[in-house]
Every structure is written in structure tokens, then in C-alpha cells.
């Protein structure tokens, strides 16, 4: 599938960089009854399960078991698997609604709702745990059970002291479950509908800022990223570093620099509800392009990390690698060193290098002073002479009032180290800083997009408001399967697969001659295996005999999760061919004749007609007649050597007008173990899944170019599989000598099954 141009690598100073551009907008969705927010009804069962899982995580992470409803014997393997299954069900329902509305932002809304539920569940359960332990302490004190009181007080201290870490870890685990589900299967399913551009990267919800209770806390920033400030008096302002990097890249790229750049998602957005407020998505802003680059942490390595490139160069020299590669590495290393040298000069000019180095050096002794000082006060003391006097006065007051003395010698040693730190070491520290800053900048922009979306969510649970919102078609519901209405939706369209089985009569006669039972043989090795795979594709048997199999797949109203009838019929046909091949291998071993099959797939954009003979349902549809014609084979064509040797199994010809009176029909076809799609079926398939068009010479058919359409289709369970469709010109043939006399300008379509061709295309992509 094609990748959006905005995500393609770009060149900077000859170095390929990949921009990071991902939106999380909701502006195309319908507002709720208050005309301000989006009405959401999220599964009550899922919310309950999330609260239960949040409590178990809090107990496991904190090590405190004296919690309300905590399950000591909780089976984590089964519990996590079940919770992931619930997440999968909610996302599947969201994808269903997104396809029904033809709007990818519905899934963003569902994910934002899950983010709210995760964070609220952890915070609510944590408060409940604190309240529960406090209540237990009071009860045990009233019972004069001092040993239990002491134990519970220790538990309370653990919960209070480790609150931030526990909440962050519990949130991270819940979001990890969601990310796992998306990466394992849901993103593939979502890509089938809306293309790869609509899929969020894994880091979007694996975002520490999203998991933290207070994402601006100094200890959190120092532990996860780097200490950055947001107040005007802070010497390490986030905006100052972002402007420095932006202007540096602009100057190196020959663009005008600006003294100040627009806010990068760190201020309250003023866009319409849900619309992304990030400047990097704004057209015509030169600086915006560079913020896209800054968000990608790997770009910082590509631009500045000549240390890593030197290591690769030395390794390649030792291994006597290609000289051209070694020469390129040398060129890249020189560019990277030049850029890092220029960057440190830019930071020096803005008095930022000193702050970067001080932030790194103070990590070794920060805990000795904080508290009573804050990390920002400690940094301020190191880099700003004017701030030292009030901070010393503060430490003296603490000594006077509390008797705690804090020696300033470690800070003086730090100042001395910074003063004499070699330039090379400063460059290494700066490199680590810009990489960490890039990650923080990316996470902050994503965090603000999610927070902005969350601010427009209105959870609706009251029956009155639910009815009102439903009546106005403004309610977005994401429910578990058992909570959805089981009403049978009417059929709106259907696909028919007809398999023309040839050779069954010969097999039956040969088996009878050998005293074997053909009925059980066909049942165990042919019919039963086909019946066993029908549920994977949502298919039904309409008619099965020795030489004919007719299967159907229906599409129902308001069930877009199953609007893949053609794609799944193609998959079912391919699996049917595999069953025939396996059956033929057994026949070879038993010295029995081989089965031959031809499959036709036809689509009708309407419901079929049903008649009933007692309890037997009989389906009437023009698609059956068309699939019957597609599955047939013109006997004289089966003797054509060129067709037998081709990697393709279907060839269709229009009979020359002069010969049509001598033939029954307008077309003849060669369909030997092949699958042909009708024109309507191919048109429907292109609406069902994203397909990439390839023009290539197929293995085994060199010398001519073939037009192939490649995509992936989902089974009922959600697993995706490759599908390759050949679009071939429809020629005109003369019946007397089977010679091609011209071309119609139209096409026919074949589902490709040649293993060599399929492997070739898979390796190609």
C-alpha cells in the first residue's frame, strides 16, 4: 500500500530524515446534544473490567494486598488475555462504526474515550485504596489491635510515598494492553479500511506523559526525559530549546530564522473541537517542517551522531566491507561532526550549552538537596549567580528552623567540573540532550492532541440523555458484543462462489472397482474440510454435489465489520483449492484419478430471493448463474500447451462475432484450478480493501507485463491475508483455429494462486 508523501523521507544536508506527522483530530464528527462535546456511551462491562484490572495492577505494583476487592489468587495470564480481548472487542466495534460512517476519526474518538477510562479507573481505584486503608486503621484502632494498625500504617505510607510511580506504572500497563491489541491485529484491519496514514504509531499511547498523574513534575521529567521548565523565570525553558533547534536547522537549510517560533502544542489549542493545533501541520510555515523532523528521535542520530557512524566505519574497515559504503560513511561522519559542532556554537551563543551540561551534571547529587530545594532551584543556583544568594538564605532558614544542614561543597565541585569540562564531552552531553528532547517534544505534542480531544468528550449514561442523543443521531456507542442488540439485520448484498468439480465420476468408478467407499472418501477428505473453513469466511452452503459446490456470503445492513463478502470469497476459494490439492496428493498415493476444479465468484448488490421446501432453504440469485459461467472451462482450450505452462490458471476470450452462432454464449474460458472474478465483484473488492496496483513481469511469464492488484483481506476472526488479483485484457478469439484476432479493450479478473508468484510479490513489498 502506498505511503503518504508527507511520511516519505526527506533530505537535509544530504542526510535522509523522516518527518513525524500524525493527527488526532475529531473535527469531522457530529457534536452531541449540547453542541459543544461528543456524546459517548462506552460499554459498562468494559468500564467495570477496567476498574477491576486497575485495582489488581495497583496491588501488584505497590506490593500492598490489603486493598478493597483485591484478588490474591488473581490469574495474570488469563486476566490479561481476557482484558485484551475486551479491548479488541471495543476497537472492533469502533472500526465497524468508522466504516459505517466512512469516517476514520470515529476510531480516534474511541481511543480517546479509552484513555479517559484508563486514567479515571486508576485514579479512582487509588483513592479508594487510600480510603479503605484509612478506614481499616480506624477500625483496628477501635479494636485495640496494634499489630494490625502498625501493618496498615506501613501500607498507607507505601501507597502515599509511591503514589506517582504506582499510578504511572498502572496507567502504562493498561495502555500497553491497548497498544498490544492494536499492533497484533487491529491496525491491519484499520489499514484495510482507511489506509496506513490513518494508523497511529506505537509510541502514541506508549507515552509517559499520558500515563503520569502530573506530567510537569520535576522528578518525573528528570527520570523519563530531561529537566525542562515552562515558567518565564525558568532558565531551561522548553520553548527556548525548541526555538534554538528550529532556527539552527533553518539556518543550515538556508532558510530565514525567527526570533520566536509559534507554540508547539504546549499551549491551550484554540482550534475547533478536536482539530489538531500543532504548528507542524500548518501549511506554509517553514519552521513547521523542522519541528516535524525534531519529533523523530532517530533524526537526531542521523544528523549529529558521528560517534555511532565512526564505530560503524571502524567495524566495516575491520571486516573489509564494500569500499563505496566505507566512503559514504566517511562523508556522513564528516557532515554529522560539522553539524554537531555548529549546533554547540548555536547553543553557546544562546547560553544554552551551560544549562544542558549543568542539568546533566546535577543528576549525581540532586536527591541530596531536593527537597527542600526543587530541581529548578538547584539548576538556577548552578547557572545563575544572581539566584544563589536567596537560595543560600533559604538553606540557612531550614538549618535554623529544623536543624538540617546542607553543604554547598557538592555544588561547588559541580561548578568546577563544568568550568573545565572538555569540549568533546560537552558535545556528547549535547547529543544525548537533543535526542531526549526530540522524544519529549514528540510526546508533548501527542499528549496535547489527546488531551485536547479528551476535553470534548461527554460520557452519557443517563437513560434520558441516551434516548435524546440517539434520537438526534449524535451518540457514539462502543459496546461489547454481548451488549449489542442481537436483532437480525436485513441482507443488502451477497457474493456467490461456484466451484465446478471435474473428475469426481472417474474417482467414484475407480474406487468402486477397487472395493473402496467413495462416499466416505469424499466426505472425509473433501466436503468436511470445506465445511470446516466456512465459518472463517462467514460463508454458507447453498448446494453441494459431486460436481458442483455453491457457497454464499451475505452482507447485512449496519454490519460494516462484515462488508468483505468478495474479499472473503476470494480467500475461501483459495483455501478450497488447497483442499483439492491436498486431496489430489492422497489420490496420487492411492493411484486414483485427480480432481480438477474451476471457481467463479460473482457479486450482486442486492438481497437474494429465498424459497423454502419444508425446512430446506433454496436461494435464487442471478449471481449463481454468473458464477456458474465463470467456473466453466472450454474443453478444446484445455489442450493448449501455452496455457498449461502459464503461472496463471484463468484465460477468457470473447468469441469473434462471425462465430457466435456456432457457440453457446459470447465467451469461452480456460479455468483449470483457477478462480475468476466477475467485473462487479472486482469493483466491489476495491471498495472493501485498500489495493496497490503493480505492473510487473511475473515469474514463469517473462516477456510481458502484467497488471496486478495487491492487498490484504480480513477473515471473520480479524486475521489478515494477502490477496493478489490479475487484471488481464480480454482478447477476441476465432473458434475455428483458436487464434486471437483482436482485443475488446475490456478486462477479466483472476485471483492469483501460483505459489512462486505470491512469494515473489511478498518479497517485493
Q: For the domain that residue 635 is a member of, what is the CATH number?
A: 3.30.70.1230
- Position 702 in a domain: yes
Tell me, yes or no, whether 531 and 407 share the same domain: no
Cis peptide before 372 (omega within 30 of 0): yes
Q: Are residues 725 and 632 in the same domain?
A: yes
Q: Is residue 446 part of a domain?
A: no
Do 304 and 329 sit in the same domain of this protein? yes
Q: Tell whether 74 and 103 lie within a shared domain.
A: yes
Burial class of residue 157 in the structure, from the number of CB atoms within 10 Å of its CB (0-12 exposed, 13-18 middle, 19+ buried) = exposed
Determine the pLDDT at residue 678.
Answer: 94
* Percent helix, strand and coil across the chain, each to the nearest 5: 55, 15, 25
Task: Give the angle 279-285-290 at the CA atoms, nearest 5°.
Answer: 75
Residue 41 lies in a domain: yes
The pLDDT of residue 289: 60
Is 757 within a domain? yes
Residues 390 and 513 in one domain: no
Q: Which domain holds residue 204?
A: 22-212+456-483
76 and 100 in a single domain? The answer is: yes
C-alpha cell at 726: 490479475
- Asked if 72 and 79 touch (Cβ cutoff 8 Å), the reply is no
Residue 184 and residue 236 share a domain: no
What is the number of structural domains in the chain?
3
Other CB atoms within 10 A of residue 674 CB: 25
**Which is it for the CA torsion 315, 319, 322, 327, positive or negative?**
positive
Residue 10 belongs to a domain: no
Beta-carbon contacts of residue 9 (< 8 Å; ≥ 6 apart): 16, 17, 18
Say yes or no: 309 and 328 in one domain.
Answer: yes
In a domain, 668, yes or no: yes
Statement to judge: residues 236 and 173 lie in one domain: no
Q: Is residue 633 part of a domain?
A: yes
Say if residue 115 is in the same domain as residue 238.
Answer: no
pLDDT of amino acid 262? 43
Same-domain status, 223 and 277 = yes
Is residue 5 assigned to a domain? no
Mean pLDDT per block of 10 residues along the chain (765 residues) reads: 46 79 88 90 92 91 80 83 90 86 89 94 91 86 84 86 91 93 78 76 91 89 87 84 88 63 42 42 45 87 86 81 80 88 90 89 84 85 84 82 79 86 90 93 93 92 83 85 69 92 81 78 79 87 79 87 91 92 86 87 90 72 92 87 86 84 76 94 92 82 80 85 92 86 91 89 78
The pTM assigned to this predicted structure is: 0.68
Within this chain, do residues 184 and 207 fall inside the same structural domain, yes or no? yes
Cα(478)–Cα(610) distance, integer angstroms:
34
Amino acid at each position: 500500500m502506498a505511503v503518504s508523501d508527507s511520511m516519505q523521507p526527506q533530505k537535509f544536508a544530504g542526510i535522509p530524515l523522516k518527518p513525524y506527522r500524525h493527527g488526532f483530530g475529531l473535527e469531522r464528527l457530529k457534536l452531541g446534544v449540547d453542541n459543544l462535546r461528543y456524546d459517548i456511551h462506552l460499554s459498562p462491562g468494559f468500564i467495570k473490567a477496567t476498574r477491576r484490572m486497575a485495582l489488581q495492577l495497583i496491588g501488584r505494583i505497590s506490593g500492598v494486598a490489603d486493598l478493597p476487592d483485591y484478588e490474591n489468587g488473581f490469574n495474570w495470564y488469563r486476566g490479561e488475555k481476557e482484558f485484551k480481548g475486551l479491548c479488541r472487542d471495543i476497537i472492533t466495534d469502533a472500526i465497524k462504526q468508522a466504516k459505517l460512517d466512512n469516517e476514520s476519526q470515529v476510531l480516534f474518538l474511541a481511543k480517546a474515550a479509552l484513555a479517559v477510562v484508563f486514567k479515571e479507573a486508576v485514579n479512582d481505584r487509588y483513592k479508594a485504596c487510600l480510603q479503605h486503608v484509612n478506614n481499616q486503621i480506624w477500625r483496628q484502632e477501635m479494636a485495640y489491635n496494634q499489630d494490625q494498625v502498625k501493618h496498615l500504617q506501613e501500607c498507607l505510607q507505601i501507597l502515599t510515598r509511591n503514589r506517582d510511580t504506582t499510578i504511572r506504572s498502572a496507567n502504562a500497563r493498561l495502555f500497553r494492553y491497548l497498544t498490544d491489541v492494536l499492533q497484533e491485529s487491529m491496525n491491519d484491519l484499520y489499514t484495510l479500511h482507511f489506509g496506513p496514514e490513518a494508523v497511529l504509531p506505537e509510541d502514541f499511547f506508549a507515552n509517559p506523559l499520558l500515563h503520569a498523574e502530573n506530567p510537569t513534575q520535576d522528578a518525573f521529567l528528570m527520570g523519563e526525559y530531561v529537566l525542562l521548565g515552562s515558567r518565564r523565570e525558568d532558565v531551561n525553558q522548553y520553548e527556548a530549546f525548541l526555538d534554538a533547534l528550529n532556527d539552527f536547522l533553518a539556518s543550515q537549510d538556508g532558510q530565514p530564522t525567527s526570533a520566536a517560533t509559534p507554540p508547539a502544542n504546549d499551549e491551550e489549542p484554540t482550534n475547533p473541537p478536536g482539530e489538531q493545533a500543532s504548528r507542524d501541520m500548518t501549511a506554509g510555515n517553514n519552521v513547521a517542517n523542522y519541528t516535524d523532523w525534531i519529533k523523530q528521535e532517530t533524526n537526531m542520530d542521523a544528523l549529529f551522531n558521528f560517534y555511532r557512524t565512526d564505530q560503524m566505519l571502524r567495524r566495516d574497515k575491520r571486516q573489509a566491507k564494500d569500499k563505496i559504503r566505507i566512503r559514504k560513511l566517511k562523508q556522513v561522519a564528516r557532515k554529522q561532526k560539522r553539524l554537531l559542532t555548529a549546533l554547540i556554537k548555536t547553543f553557546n551563543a544562546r547560553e544554552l550549552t551551560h544549562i544542558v551540561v549543568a542539568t546533566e551534571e546535577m543528576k549525581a547529587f540532586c536527591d541530596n538537596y531536593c527537597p527542600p530545594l526543587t530541581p529548578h532551584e538547584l539548576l538556577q543556583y548552578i547557572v545563575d549567580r544572581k539566584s544563589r544568594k536567596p537560595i543560600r538564605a533559604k538553606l540557612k532558614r531550614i538549618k535554623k528552623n529544623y536543624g538540617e544542614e546542607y553543604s554547598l561543597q557538592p555544588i561547588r565541585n559541580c561548578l568546577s567540573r563544568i568550568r573545565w569540562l572538555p569540549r568533546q564531552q560537552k558535545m556528547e552531553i549535547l547529543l544525548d540532550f537533543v535526542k531526549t528532547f526530540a522524544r519529549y517534544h514528540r510526546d508533548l505534542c501527542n499528549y496535547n492532541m489527546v488531551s485536547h480531544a479528551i476535553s470534548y468528550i461527554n460520557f452519557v449514561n443517563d437513560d434520558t440523555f441516551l434516548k435524546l442523543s440517539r434520537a438526534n443521531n449524535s451518540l457514539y456507542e462502543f459496546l461489547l458484543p454481548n451488549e449489542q442488540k442481537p436483532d437480525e439485520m436485513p441482507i443488502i448484498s451477497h457474493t456467490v462462489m461456484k466451484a465446478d468439480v471435474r473428475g469426481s465420476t472417474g474417482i467414484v468408478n475407480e474406487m468402486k472397482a477397487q472395493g473402496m467407499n467413495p462416499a466416505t472418501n469424499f466426505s472425509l477428505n473433501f466436503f468436511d474440510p470445506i465445511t470446516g473453513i466456512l465459518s472463517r469466511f462467514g460463508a454458507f452452503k447453498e448446494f453441494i454435489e459431486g460436481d458442483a459446490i455453491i457457497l454464499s456470503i451475505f452482507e447485512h445492513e449496519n454490519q460494516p465489520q462484515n462488508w468483505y463478502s468478495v474479499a472473503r470469497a476470494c480467500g475461501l476459494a483459495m483455501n478450497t483449492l488447497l483442499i483439492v490439492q491436498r486431496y489430489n496428493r492422497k489420490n496420487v498415493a492411492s493411484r486414483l484419478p485427480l480432481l480438477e476444479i474451476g471457481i467463479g465468484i460473482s457479486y450482486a448488490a442486492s438481497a437474494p430471493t429465498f424459497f423454502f421446501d419444508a425446512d430446506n432453504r433454496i436461494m435464487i440469485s442471478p449471481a449463481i448463474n454468473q458464477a456458474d459461467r465463470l467456473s466453466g472451462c472450454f474443453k478444446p482450450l484445455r489442450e493448449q500447451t501455452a496455457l498449461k505452462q502459464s503461472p496463471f490458471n484463468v484465460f477468457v476470450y470473447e468469441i469473434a462475432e462471425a462465430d457466435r452462432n456456432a457457440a453457446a454464449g459470447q465467451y469461452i474460458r480456460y479455468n483449470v484450478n483457477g478462480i475468476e472474478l466477475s467485473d462487479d465483484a472486482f469493483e466491489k473488492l476495491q471498495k472493501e480493501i485498500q489495493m496497490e496496483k503493480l505492473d510487473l513481469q511475473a515469474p514463469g511469464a517473462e516477456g510481458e507485463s502484467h497488471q496486478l492488484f495487491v492487498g490484504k483481506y480480513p477473515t471473520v476472526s480479524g486475521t489478515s491475508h494477502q490477496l493478489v488479483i490479475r487484471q488481464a485484457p480480454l482478447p477476441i478469439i476465432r473458434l475455428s483455429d483458436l487464434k486471437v484476432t483482436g482485443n475488446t479493450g475490456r478486462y477479466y479478473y483472476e485471483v492469483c494462486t501460483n505459489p512462486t508468484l505470491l512469494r515473489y510479490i511478498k518479497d517485493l513489498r
